[in-house]
Amino acid sequence: MKGKVTCPKCSYTFVMETDQKSGEIETECPRCGGEFIVKVGETKPNDIEWEEYGGPRDAILPIPKELSNRPILAGIFLAISGIMGMITNVAYHLSPQSSIPSIFPYIPSSYHIIWLALSLAFSVVAIVGGYSALRKFSVRIALFGGIAGILALGFLVVGPIFGILSIILLEQSKGEFGNSLHGREF
């Protein structure tokens, strides 16, 4: 067993080996040649005490695994899907006679405002889900945002594709969010 000892005469610290786990050891300082007794185990205030070589051990923390960029990419897809949903719906409702195809041509004109509000709400939820995915807060909010991104119908085809891609990416990277093993901070 190794231990650090400090000479009481010259204050020289050196490493010493012994087989004893407790008791008194008579030793000699390699620098000044002074002889003194080292007590291993319990000591009194004036005794020269034995200090374990290497000091106390630090806590061993697990090494985090490499995290992927999937949640960030899913967050970007959700934000794009939400913004495209807003642009598509506002552009259609501002000029209904434009070349933008109607989302549901059989909706009566009295329900167009309700459809606009509902689709804008889906777009906002998709953007909030994108923010949650970018910050890795909650996978549930991000997945709900992915579903809302599909229902926002941004540019009619492109927005739902981005919503589906974001849901796939979020399902693959569930372990990287705040409540999972790799999302926790020590």
Containing structural domain, residue 96: 70-176
For residue range 58-68, what is the model confidence (pLDDT) as tens digits?
666 655 567 78
Residues 32, 79 within the same domain:
no
Question: Residue 185 above 50 pLDDT?
Answer: no
Residues 89 and 168 in one domain: yes
Indicate if the pLDDT at residue 100 is higher than 80: no
* Residue 185 included in any domain: no
Question: Where does the pLDDT of residue 153 fall: very low under 50, low under 70, confident under 90, or very high at 90 and above?
Answer: confident
**Banded pLDDT at 186 (limits 50, 70, 90):** very low
Query: Does this model's pTM top 0.85?
Result: no
- In this prediction, residue 143 has a pLDDT band, given cuts at 50, 70 and 90, of very high
* Segment holding 150, helix H or strand E: helix 139-151
Q: How many structural domains is the chain composed of?
A: 2
Q: 65 in a domain, yes or no? A: no
Q: Tell me the C-alpha distance between 18 and 22, whole Å.
A: 10
Say whether pLDDT at 166 is over 80: yes
pLDDT given for residue 43 in this prediction: 60
Stronger pLDDT, 24 or 119, i.e. the higher one? 119
Model confidence pLDDT, tens digit, residues 16-32 = 887 777 778 888 888 88
For the cut 60, the answer to whether the pLDDT of residue 118 exceeds it is: yes
The pLDDT score that the predictor gives to residue 25 is 81
Based on the fold, state whether residues 45 and 90 are members of the same structural domain: no
Q: Which residue has the tokens 């231990």?
A: 3
Portion of the chain with pLDDT greater than 70, in percent: 73
**Higher-confidence position of 161 and 50:** 161
Taking the CA atoms of the chain, what radius of gyration do you get in angstroms?
Answer: 35
Kindly state whether residues 35 and 86 are assigned to the same domain.
no
DSSP-assigned states of every residue in 42-110? S--TTSEEPEETT-SPPP-PPPPPPP-SHHHHHHHHHHHHHHHHHHHHHHHHH-TTSSSPPS-TTS-GG
Q: Are residues 101 and 167 in the same domain?
A: yes
> What helix, strand, coil percent values describe the chain, rounded to 5?
45, 15, 40
